Structure 1
Amino acid sequence: MLDNKQKVLKKLAFYSLGYFLTYGSYYAILFLQSSINIEEGLGATSAAVTYCCSVGFGLLLTPAIIRIVGAKYAAIICQAMYIFYVLANYYPIVPALVPASVLVGVGEATMWPTMILFSVHYARCYAKQVGKPNSTYETEFVGYFFFGFQLSQIFSNLLSYAILYGGKSKQNLTFARNQTKSDFSSCGIHDCQNPNVTQQNIDMYIPTSQLTLNLVIGVMAGMIFVAAIIYLTLVNDINPALEQNETTSHDRAINRRALLKTARKGPNDKNLEDYCETLEVNTPQSKCSMIYSTWKATFRHVFCPKQILLAPFALYSGVLMSFGYSELTRAFTSCILGVDQVGLCMAIFASTGGVSSVLISKLYSRVGRNIPLIIGVSIDVSSYMFLLLWKPTSENMGVVYVTFITVGIVNGIWQPLISEIHGEFFPHNHEVAFPVWNMWVLAGFAVQYGWSTSLCVNVKIYTQLGILFFSVLAYGAANRLQTKTKKLQHQNH
């Protein structure tokens, strides 16, 4: 028989496998968008549509959807949307790809905060079983989530690389070997997506064999389908609202009564396992009143001073992430090495990001936010300077892989750090705080894909440096407010 701690870890394993297959498959296709659908900017445009829809849906409906259908079924609905989007790439035309992009935008708006809620849930369950405070494990479990996310990118992108590289024609291999220095004059930071230049080098962006591309699409859709089955059959629903009440001693008595009430409903619910495996409905609100109250709480949260000051950092996180997904894959990988190398480069990006996310989460839990923040800013600025100064030639093409290492490390730092700052600043409002954090991240995606076809890469880098510096200043102000709030709470107690 498994003890309660092992049961929590078992549930965590099923949940992790589900998001591993889902995210890996979806993002493997997304990473290819700016290359395989580069003509007329369809790939970047469809991705911009995705994340514009994500912002609106995430602000208005994501918290309400999670409350109404539960985190488990919200995730399954999202997975169905991911499958539809992946399959739409069989016919990459506006009538097929744009509606699919709208749907997957809804999925992105809902899936990310749902997964963070699951991570926090399992952290609290595990903390209960070992008799330690929730905060001991919350940061680490969120870090493990992002590590698992990066591992999913490694697996799926290596799979994509193997399929596309295996289907690469001998003619295309010869073409790649015979490139000269002049081939790179419109690559890297000088990539401006000039239609004439793109058309002249179209073989670098689109696989020569349509069969191999179709195989990638089919495999990725199948993996998401398997993930949906896992969530449907092996993952229990959770109730974030009930858990959040346990973050203060004032509310613990209320939750004990709720757990006793739950225990009376089933013969096998006798201990703390109830807390980790049941969905408790605390109030008999109608769906309409629940949506209204959620909207009210969401908009109140969006306009609270601390959230306004943290918004630029979350926005920057999305801009940086999508810079790797869209600009690095097209302007550096496809333009210099060829589209078949996108999967390998993104696997490198994900592996370095995964390691740095775990390390930075452990450092955060031991020394606080400031030292990881300084490390992140230092590496980030250095990475941008490297991209601006490097000039690609036929002799140093391998440096492309180094760019993915550096940007991957930075991405792995910011993802868990910024999400956990939101969790720490709003400990009693995770149901709203995480969707709002996710909304700003997705807004960053919308910005990056929106300006993708309009600005040269070097202009984007200078703009991102400006957003980074502004974000750090705004965070400093938010941290000062947080310190004052804690002092007032301490004085009142």
Structure 2
Amino acid sequence: MTENKQIIQLCVLISGMTFTISAFVGTVDLQSSIHISHNLGTISLSITYGCSFLLSLFVLPVFLFNLGAKWTLILGEIGFMIFTLANFYSGLATMVPGSILGSMGESFFWAAGVYYVNHLFHEYQDSKPEDQKPQDNVKNVWFGRFYGVVGSCTIWGNLLAYAVLYGAQNFEAKSIHNNTTMAEYDYHTCGSNFCTVTKTNGNYAYVPKSKTSVYILLGVYSALQLFAIILHVVYLPALNKKQDEDFRVLSVGATKETLLSLARYLRSTKQILLAPMSFYYGFLMSYSFSDFTRGFVSCTMGVQQVGLVMAVSGCFSVLGAFMSTKASQKLGLSIVICITVIFDLTNYFIQMLFQPTSNSRYWVYGIAAILGTSVTMALYFPVDTELAFGTITLWQVFAMTIGFILSGRICLSIRIYLLIGNLVLVCIGYAIVEQRRRSTKLKEESEPLIEANGLGNG
């Protein structure tokens, strides 16, 4: 039982995190469709990610040091729950404070969760005899399972949204929205032609059949998040930070040094060249959460289909994660990135050419599948050090903030052009970095041979 203690704690941690993030992802995917007035949904998301950017820089290390990983994680879960509750009454007075407090989730939740998994692995490692200690590849398995299970939240949260919103329409009274059939919709305003919801020519696809179905869904999401908080409070033990050497680097003084190191690292040539790659991932994520769900899904099939379409995207995201991992081991990271570029460009050209009709609108599922694969493989861009990972995360959060600010303010076709332009910069930057890496490696391999030949001639 003692040997399996860390495994049980890992299961408790992952289960609670999956419930929490499933509810959050389901809520996020619907923001641009159910809060369309004055772009309230995308404004709230830009506030959430913008504030989380600042909290990650200045507040997260202090909280981890003083509260520990467990309570920092729980505080993040409370932030997610507050964001969900704010959606019960959508307005600036509720959504803005809810988004600010919800940023604690994005800032604290993931960092504390990853830290806790790392701590549990080292405890598990220390509990084993010297001849049975797990190797580094076992640690990768731990983190692979962690990200795999928690990453599946895209599927569960969106399937739940589909079940509630689509199922509830069979039990609701008819209204003017129910009497509007999809055949009456002007599909020319959907897809890449989508500009603003004020130009949808009477399309009611964005409006759920009644507020009741939305309240039911938000109630279920809130219950899941509350259950996760109770589960972690009761069954997840707090880490003993006095015995944990890693907490030494999380002092307030270290925060200042980390920021200075981060600033110096951002000025390096390699980071400047890879910055478009990091920015692209965040910009793509904000697009899939907002413009895609609103312009392609809600506009063509109704808001009740958002959950199912994004669940399909999530399934292919999990499949893409497995395939890209295997491919990078056998073919190399450069080949995987080339495949990613091809997938993304194909996806964007299909979206630009796609003209939805009453018969072709279900092709949106195929576009979502490609989008899910593209988003997943963007995760496998190269990361060299923890500091590099920190800069990549900062660029991604910054890009998501910019993306949500632009959502609803520029036409969808322009957003796609911006993604294509960003992808071109990614290719140029990565090609230069890869060429430099290979030149350096070739030089390092040739130096011993030159020295050996020199000694031989002597």
Q: Confirm or deny a common fold (TM above 0.5).
A: yes
Q: How does 1:207-222 map to 2 (within 5 A)?
A: 207-222=208-223
Of stretches 225-234 and 336-345 in structure 1, the one that deviates more from structure 2 is 225-234
Partner of 1:190: 193
Partner of 2:453: none
Partner of 2:420: 465
Asked whether the 8 Å contact 1:113–1:435 carries over to 2, the reply is no
For structure 2, the 5+ residue unaligned runs are: 449-458
Partner of 1:447: 402
| 1:36-89 CA distance string (max 9 Å, x none) | 100111111111122222223333333444344333322111111111111001
Asked whether the 8 Å contact 1:147–1:358 carries over to 2, the reply is no
Amino acid at match of 2:364: V
- Residue 347 of structure 1 pairs with residue 350 of structure 2: no
Asked whether the 8 Å contact 2:62–2:250 carries over to 1, the reply is no
Q: What is the aligned counterpart of 2:85 among 79, 84, 87?
A: 87
Partner of 1:225: 226
- The structure-2 alpha-carbon separation of the partners of 1:383 and 1:118, relative to structure 1 and needing over 3 Å to count, comes to farther
| 1:229-252 CA distance string (max 9 Å, x none) | 33333345569xx9xxxxxxxxxx
- The structure-2 alpha-carbon separation of the partners of 1:124 and 1:39, relative to structure 1 and needing over 3 Å to count, comes to same
- Residue 378 of structure 1 pairs with residue 342 of structure 2: yes
Q: Report the CA distance between 1:27 and its aligned residue.
A: 1.1
Q: What is the aligned counterpart of 2:294 among 323, 330, 345?
A: 330
Amino acid at match of 2:58: L
Amino acid at match of 2:402: V
Asked whether the 8 Å contact 1:59–1:298 carries over to 2, the reply is no
Of stretches 448-457 and 150-159 in structure 1, the one that deviates more from structure 2 is 150-159
Q: Report the CA distance between 1:489 and its aligned residue.
A: 9.6
Amino acid at match of 1:309: L
| SS, match of residue 189 in structure 2 | coil
Identical amino acids, percent of aligned pairs: 26
Q: What is the aligned counterpart of 2:16 among 6, 15, 18?
A: 18
Asked whether the 8 Å contact 1:306–1:481 carries over to 2, the reply is no
Partner of 2:43: 45
Q: What is the aligned counterpart of 1:408 among 359, 367, 372?
A: 372
Amino acid at match of 1:437: I
Amino acid at match of 1:377: V
- Residue 393 of structure 1 pairs with residue 391 of structure 2: no
Q: Report the CA distance between 1:154 and its aligned residue.
A: 1.3
Amino acid at match of 1:189: S
Amino acid at match of 1:451: L
Aligned mates of 1:312, 1:286 — CA distance in 2 = 29
Aligned mates of 2:21, 2:298 — CA distance in 1 = 22
Amino acid at match of 1:391: Q
Q: What is the aligned counterpart of 1:296 among 257, 260, 267?
A: 260
| 1:410-441 CA distance string (max 9 Å, x none) | 112222x13xx32xx01xxx3x5444332221
Of stretches 219-228 and 303-312 in structure 1, the one that deviates more from structure 2 is 303-312
| 1:310-359 CA distance string (max 9 Å, x none) | 33212111111121111121111111100111111111111111121122
Asked whether the 8 Å contact 1:143–1:357 carries over to 2, the reply is no
- State the TM-score, normalized to the length of structure 2: 0.85
Partner of 2:109: 111
Of stretches 367-376 and 395-404 in structure 1, the one that deviates more from structure 2 is 367-376
Amino acid at match of 2:326: K
Aligned mates of 1:232, 1:489 — CA distance in 2 = 52
Q: What is the aligned counterpart of 2:64 among 53, 57, 66?
A: 66
Asked whether the 8 Å contact 2:75–2:104 carries over to 1, the reply is no
Aligned mates of 2:431, 2:437 — CA distance in 1 = 10
Aligned mates of 1:398, 1:324 — CA distance in 2 = 17
Amino acid at match of 1:334: S
- State the TM-score, normalized to the length of structure 1: 0.80
| 1:418-474 CA distance string (max 9 Å, x none) | 3xx32xx01xxx3x5444332221112112111112211111111101111212322
Aligned mates of 1:237, 1:482 — CA distance in 2 = 43
Q: Report the CA distance between 1:117 and its aligned residue.
A: 4.0
Aligned mates of 1:238, 1:479 — CA distance in 2 = 41
Asked whether the 8 Å contact 2:206–2:303 carries over to 1, the reply is yes
Q: How does 1:95-134 map to 2 (within 5 A)?
A: 95-118=93-116, 131=133, 133-134=135-136
Q: Report the CA distance between 1:400 and its aligned residue.
A: 1.3
Aligned mates of 1:118, 1:376 — CA distance in 2 = 31
| SS, match of residue 227 in structure 2 | helix
Q: Report the CA distance between 1:162 and its aligned residue.
A: 1.1
Amino acid at match of 1:185: H
Amino acid at match of 2:293: T
Asked whether the 8 Å contact 1:58–1:435 carries over to 2, the reply is no
Asked whether the 8 Å contact 2:189–2:199 carries over to 1, the reply is no
| SS, match of residue 183 in structure 2 | coil
